[in-house]
Amino acid sequence: MDVLARIESALDAALALGEGRGCPPKLAAAMRHAVFPGGARIRPRLCMSVAHACGADDAALVDAAAASIELMHCASLVHDDLPCFDDAAVRRGLASVHAAFGERLAVLAGDALIVLAFQVLPAAGVRAPQRLGRLVTTIGMGAGMPLGIVAGQAFECEPRVSLRDYQRAKTGALFSAATAAGAEAAGADGAPWRDFGDWLGEAYQVADDIRDVAADPALLGKPVGRDEALGRPSSASELGLDGALDYFEQLLGRVIESIPPCRGAAQLRALVRSEAERLIPHAAYADRARVAA
Amino acid sequence: MDVLARIESALDAALALGEGRGCPPKLAAAMRHAVFPGGARIRPRLCMSVAHACGADDAALVDAAAASIELMHCASLVHDDLPCFDDAAVRRGLASVHAAFGERLAVLAGDALIVLAFQVLPAAGVRAPQRLGRLVTTIGMGAGMPLGIVAGQAFECEPRVSLRDYQRAKTGALFSAATAAGAEAAGADGAPWRDFGDWLGEAYQVADDIRDVAADPALLGKPVGRDEALGRPSSASELGLDGALDYFEQLLGRVIESIPPCRGAAQLRALVRSEAERLIPHAAYADRARVAA
């Protein structure tokens, strides 16, 4: 099975775990709407790639870790789209959860997805209880306090915040959790893998800022220019578009350098390069060179 | 240390776990506001009492399990009070979280409390990884899909729902998780303890319905008559006040009967009786008898 098919199947199994007899059908539908169809699934792909690079021996636990990370990401999108935050009616080209199911079911779907992100772990971790404890800790840190994605979102409610802290928490934390969880699901130490996820998350956030001011709305799947409209910290507004592109290139270098020595390093570098091209196509740099010449 | 002091201390330690360097201070404050001062702390008391009755040998894990259950309960109160649900400005006689901190921080505080409810477990479960897996499963079932408290809240968005299913999920699920988690934290099987929590949760919900139509608002800490105003299923509106009082008495009998044989059974029965008196004072029955005479 290819990696994307494996991720979709792991997510389907995770949702099925919650769809027991008697469950409220609208909530179940809202949760599925939040998870399918997905975006690029970069976080679970990253988790699985690191697990593979660390010589994973427990496919069920790797699937569960990858699904957990993606469920947490989907939960954050559902709550970020709520009227009190971004008030976004569209997500990935479709109605956002609250636009399709109402605000109450959107709040509850996010809540239930957060819970499900933990529920999937013990179901798969019976043979490796020591790994389970590390995974719960890692996913908790990526999601919650003090510096997970929920904390990152809360920085928007603070009067002053450094752009770096905001981006590291809002995006980097779950990338870092994805790489550490991949290693831990394989029975390896997650700590050496955190920098890789951290830098990649920061690069991803900068790319998102660049795309927010520069991209075609049809490609992004959400309206363009929202960061500025919402007064959110953004590297594109802080550094300018050119400065942000330079910064993105620097970050990519750091991402590549931070891959720990392992037998899967070459594959991970290839994943990073294809992801970078998907986020900011080389055409963007070429345009800039032409304008500068 | 008495039980209530021990619970407050476990909750304080849990919140401190999330208050690492650099965390967003308003979110940290909103989370503390959601947890302190508490209500009767019935769920963690129940969890600790069952753990004690099962011969608990790991105080740190029992504290973590009890804190986890209460954090999940507090998270649900924060989200239930949101404008899109109950729109309650007051909780336990103080400003609700969204009234004090705004809607965005209320959504995020609920999210972060759900995550924290899982984060506390591995921090305490290093010596007992097998118990950890069972606890994550139990607390996930009590909180999320298919029939946890989030699912219970979602039944309010369904066109038709049986009162019993609604109440069992909305309240019983976390009571059942509290009793099972108490046993599991002590290394015992949680399953025989589920009925006890289930019946107690149902009794508690019926008492809440009775108090909603009959109690003094100052004692309840929230405005009276909200179930009817919000069109929510309620045993008091379905059975009438007298019928609901009869049903409450029947349920108490089942609660007592369902306590599994254990050396702490007498203490558990005493806890149930004092809790029942706190919820529906005998004066309520006496009044009824006088009116009937």
- One-letter-per-residue 3-state SS of A23-56: CCHHHHHHHHHHHCCCCCCHHHHHHHHHHHHCCC
Is B107 in Cβ contact with A157 (below 8 Å)?
Answer: no
Burial B274-283 (b: 16+ CB within 10 A, else e): ebbeebbeee
Residue that has been written with the tokens 């007064």 in this structure: A231
The amino acid at B46: L
Give B-chain residues touching A18 at CB under 8 angstroms.
144-146
Contact residues on chain B for A118, CB-CB shorter than 8 A: 118, 136, 140
Q: Per-residue pLDDT averaged across A228-236, rounded?
A: 71
Residue B174 has pLDDT above 60, yes or no: yes
- pTM of the entire structure? 0.92
Tell me what pLDDT residue B73 has: 98
Percent of chain A clearing pLDDT 70 (strictly above):
90
Mean pLDDT of B86-105: 96
Partner-chain residue, chosen from A23, A144, A151, that has the shortest CB–CB distance to B151? A23
Residue B77 has pLDDT above 60, yes or no: yes
Residue B22: list chain A partners with CB under 8 A: 146-147, 165
* 8 Å CB contact of A22 and B132: no
CB-based burial label for B188 (10 Å; 0-12, 13-18, 19+)? buried
Which B positions 61-80 lie with beta carbon below 8 A of chain A?
75, 79
Inspect the interface and report whether the beta carbons of B150 and A111 lie closer than 8 Å.
yes
pLDDT of residue B36: 98
Residue range B228-258, pLDDT digits in tens: 666 677 777 778 888 889 999 999 999 999 9
Residue B141: band (very low, low, confident or very high) from pLDDT cuts 50, 70, 90: very high
User: How many Å is the maximal CA-CA distance in chain A?
Assistant: 66
In DSSP terms, which residues pair with A91 in a beta bridge? A94
What pLDDT does B167 receive? 82
B115–A20 CB contact, under 8 Å: no
More reliable by pLDDT, A292 or A287: A287
Supply the pLDDT for residue A286.
61
- Looking at residue B144, its pLDDT comes to 98
What is the C-alpha to C-alpha distance for residues A127 and A185, in angstroms, rounded to an integer?
11
Mean pLDDT of B34-58: 95
CA trace torsion B220, B221, B224, B230 (10° rounding)? -120
pLDDT tens digits, residue range A210-225? 887 776 555 555 566 6
Q: What percent of chain A has pLDDT over 90?
A: 67
Domains, chain A, in order of start with CATH, read: 3-292 (1.10.600.10)
Q: Are B77 and B88 in contact (CB under 8 A)?
A: no
Amino acid, single-letter form, for residue B86: D
In B72-84, which positions are buried (b, 16+ CB within 10 angstroms) versus exposed (e)?
Answer: bbbbbbbbbbbeb
DSSP notation for A207-220: HHHHHHHHS-HHHH
d(CA A114, CA A117): 5
> Which residues, in sequence order, are CB contacts of B218 under 8 Å at separation 6+?
B93
Please check the confidence at residue B151 and state whether its pLDDT lies above 80: yes
Query: Is B136 in CB contact (< 8 Å) with chain A?
Result: yes
Question: Could you report the per-residue pLDDT of A170-221, keeping only the tens digit for each?
Answer: 989 999 999 999 999 999 999 999 999 999 998 998 898 888 777 655 555 5
As a three-state string, the secondary structure of chain B is: CCHHHHHHHHHHHHHHHHCCCCCCHHHHHHHHHHHCCCCCCHHHHHHHHHHHHCCCCCHHHHHHHHHHHHHHHHHHHHHHCCCCCCCCCEECCEECHHHHHCHHHHHHHHHHHHHHHHHHHHHHCCCCHHHHHHHHHHHHHHHCCCCCHHHHHHHHHCCCCCHHHHHHHHHHHHHHHHHHHHHHHCCCCCHHHHHHHHHHHHHHHHHHHHHHHHCCHHHHCCCCCHHHHCCCCCHHHHHHHHHHHHHHHHHHHHHHHCCCCCCCHHHHHHHHHHHHHHHCCHHHHHHHHHHHC
Helices B173-185 and B42-53 meet at what angle, rounded to 10?
A: 40
| H or E stretch at A91 | strand A90-91
pLDDT in tens, A76-108: 999 999 999 999 999 989 999 999 999 999 999
Q: How many whole angstroms separate alpha carbon B233 and alpha carbon B243?
A: 15
Q: B180 to chain A nearest CA, in Å? A: 16
| Mean per-residue pLDDT, B102-113 | 98
Scan for tokens 């309840």, then name that residue.
Answer: B220
Per the rule left: phi > 0, alpha: psi between -120 and 50, beta: everything else, A249 is alpha
A144 versus A285: the higher-pLDDT residue is: A144
Check: CB of residue B204 under 8 Å from CB of residue B73.
no
Mutate to test the interface with B, among A26, A31, A86, A111 (most CBs of B within 10 A): A111
A27 contacts in B (CB within 8 Å)?
145, 150-151, 154, 157
Residue B217 at interface with chain A, using a CB cutoff of 8 Å: no
Contact B112/B27 with Cβ under 8 angstroms? Answer: yes
pLDDT for residue B292: 53
Q: Predicted ipTM? A: 0.92
Contact B197, B175 (CB under 8 A): yes
**How many CA atoms does the CB half-sphere of B97 hold within 13 Å?**
31
What three-state secondary structure class fits A95? strand
Nearest CA-CA partner of A241 in A274, A217, A276, A206: A206
Per-residue pLDDT, averaged over B141-154, amounts to 97
Chain A positions touching B26 (Cβ under 8 A) are 154, 157-158
Spatial CA neighbour of A50 closest among A268, A285, A198, A280: A268
User: What are the angstrom distances between the C-alpha of B240 and each of B153, B210, B237, B243?
Assistant: 23, 9, 5, 5
- The pLDDT assigned to A216 comes to 57
Largest CA distance in chain B: 66
pLDDT one-digit tens code per residue, B178-200 = 999 999 999 999 999 999 999 99
What lies within 8 Å, CB to CB, of A214 at 6+ separation is A236, A241, A284
For residues A117 and A288, the model is more confident at: A117
Residue pairs spanning A and B at CB distance below 8 A: 202
The mean pLDDT value of chain B amounts to 90
Query: Is residue A58 classed as helix, strand or coil in its secondary structure?
Result: coil
Contacts of A10 (CB under 8 A, 6+ apart): A44, A63, A64, A66, A67
Query: What is the pLDDT, as a whole number, of residue B288?
Result: 62
pLDDT digits (tens, 9 = 90+) for A14-68: 999 999 889 999 999 999 999 999 989 999 999 999 999 999 999 999 999 999 9
What pLDDT score does A20 carry? 87
Does A107 lie at the interface with B, CB-CB under 8 angstroms? yes
Q: Which residues of A touch B13 (CB under 8 A)?
A: none
The whole-number pLDDT of residue B213 equals 77
Which residues in B lie closer than 8 A to residue A136 (C-beta atoms)?
118-119, 121-122, 132, 136
A122 contacts A65 by C-beta, under 8 angstroms: no
Helix (H/G/I), strand (E/B), else coil: A6: helix
CA dihedral A220, A221, A227, A233 (to 10 degrees): -60
